[in-house]
Amino acid sequence: MLVNLNDVLLPAQKGGYGVGLFNTINAELAAGVFAAAEAMRSPVIVGTAEVLLPFGGLEELSYLLLPMAKRASVPVVLHFDHGTTLEATVKAIELGFSSVMFDRSDRPFEENMKEVKELTDYAHKKGVTVEAELGHVGTGEDYGFMTDPDTAYEFVEKTKVDALAVSIGTVHGPYLKKPCLDVELLSKIRAQVDVPLVLHGGSGLSDEQFRECIKRGICKVNIFTDINKAAAKAAGTLYREGCGMTDLIPAMVAGVKEATEEKMKIFGSVGRC
Ligand code: 13P
C-alpha cells in the first residue's frame, strides 16, 4: 500500500530500527526492491533522485512505481530523493509521489530554511511528507560539510520537515577511503530535534556503523550504489556466458533483491509488517 514517510518512520523511531530508501532507475531495480520488501515483510521507501533522471524519466518512473506501490502488500513510500530544483520536486508531487526531499543544503542556512519551509507548506496540504538536509553530504572526493547541531532545532521548528538528513561523515557513491563517522555529532543533533533522522550515502558502511547510527537516532538509510552494482554484476556475469536479455533481466532482479534483503536485515526492518 502507498503510504508517506510518517507512516513508516514514526514506527521505526519508536521501535528502534531503520527503513531503507532504495533508489531505482528502471523496471529491474524496482522489481528487485519490491520483491525484497514482500519477501522480508519489511516497510520500504522506493524512488528516484533528480540526479538519476537521465537514466529513467520522472514521469515514466512514476507510471511504473505508483501502481507497484499501491498493489504491494507491505507499506511503500514513493519518495523523490534529492529534489534540487523546485520544478522537479513539485512535478514529483503532482505525479503522485507520497514524499519528497527538497535539498537546498548547498545554500546558506537562511536560504535553505526559507525555501524548504515554502515547499513544506505546499506539500503538507497535499498529504506529502518532506525531508530536507542540514549540513551537506558530499559525493566521492567532495566531503561536503558537517551538520551544525546548534542550528538543527530552529531549522526543524521553522520548516516543519518530517525528516532531517544529517551530514556526519558519509558521502554518496563509492567510498574512496574508509568511512569514518562522527556518531557523537549524531547524538548531539538527536538531542536537539525529535524528527526521524536520515543517513545518506549508505553503500559501503559496515554493519556495525549502521547499527550504531540507528541506535543513535537514524530511522531512514539511503542506498543506491550497492543495488546499482548488484544489478550490473548479475548482468555482466550472464553476458559473459553469452546470455540474452531474457536471462539477464531475472538475474538482475534477483541480484537487486538479494542486496536489498541484506540491508533490510541489518537495518532491523524485517518482519515489521
Ligand atoms: P549511496 O549511493 O552511497 O548508497 O547513497 C545513496 C543516497 O544517499 C541517495 O540519497
Instruction: Check residue 59 and give its pLDDT.
Output: 98
Mean local confidence (pLDDT), 152-162: 98
CATH code, domain carrying 143: 3.20.20.70
- What are 124-144's pLDDT values in tens digits? 999 999 999 999 999 988 999
C-alpha grid cell for residue 28?
529491474
Q: Residues enclosing ligand 1, CB less than 6 A?
A: 23, 49, 81-82, 172-173, 200-203, 222-226
Of all protein residues, the one whose alpha carbon is nearest to atom 5 of ligand 1 is 201
The helix or strand, by DSSP H or E, that contains position 100, with its residue range, turns out to be strand 99-102
Specify if 272 maps to a domain.
Answer: no
Quote the domain boundaries for residue 211: 2-267
Q: Name the burial class of residue 140, with classes exposed (0-12), middle (13-18) and buried (19+) by CB atoms within 10 angstroms of its CB.
A: exposed
Of all protein residues, the one whose alpha carbon is nearest to atom 9 of ligand 1 is 222
Q: CA-based Rg of the chain, rounded to a whole angstrom?
A: 18
* Identity at 255, one-letter amino acid code: G
Give the atom of ligand 1 at the shortest distance from the alpha carbon of 202. 4
Q: Considering the chain, what percentage of its residues have pLDDT values greater than 90?
A: 99
User: What's the 4 CA to ligand 1 centre distance in angstroms?
Assistant: 20
**Beta-carbon contacts of residue 52 (< 8 Å; ≥ 6 apart):** 23, 25, 224
Instruction: Check residue 202 and give its pLDDT.
Output: 98
Active site residue 81: yes
Domain count, the chain: 1
Q: Name the burial class of residue 93, with classes exposed (0-12), middle (13-18) and buried (19+) by CB atoms within 10 angstroms of its CB.
A: buried
Nearest to 13 by CA among 214, 265, 271, 266: 214
User: Alpha carbon 105 to chain centroid distance?
Assistant: 16
- What are 51-83's pLDDT values in tens digits? 999 999 999 999 999 999 999 999 999 999 999
- What are 161-214's pLDDT values in tens digits? 999 999 999 999 999 999 999 999 999 999 999 999 999 999 999 999 999 999
Give the atom of ligand 1 at the shortest distance from the alpha carbon of 23. 9
- What are 200-238's pLDDT values in tens digits? 999 999 999 999 999 999 999 999 999 999 999 999 999
With beta carbons less than 8 A apart as the criterion, state whether 237 and 251 touch.
yes
User: What's the 194 CA to ligand 1 centre distance in angstroms?
Assistant: 23
Specify if 146 maps to a domain.
Answer: yes
Specify if 149 maps to a domain.
Answer: yes
Give the chain's end-to-end CA distance (angstroms, integer): 11
CB atoms within 10 A of CB 113: 22
The mean of the pLDDT values for the chain is 98
Catalytic residue among 7, 81, 103, 207: 81
User: What's the 242 CA to ligand 1 centre distance in angstroms?
Assistant: 32
Specify if 235 maps to a domain.
Answer: yes
User: What's the 223 CA to ligand 1 centre distance in angstroms?
Assistant: 5
CB atoms within 10 A of CB 85: 11
Specify if 273 maps to a domain.
Answer: no
DSSP state of 52: G
Mean local confidence (pLDDT), 17-30: 98
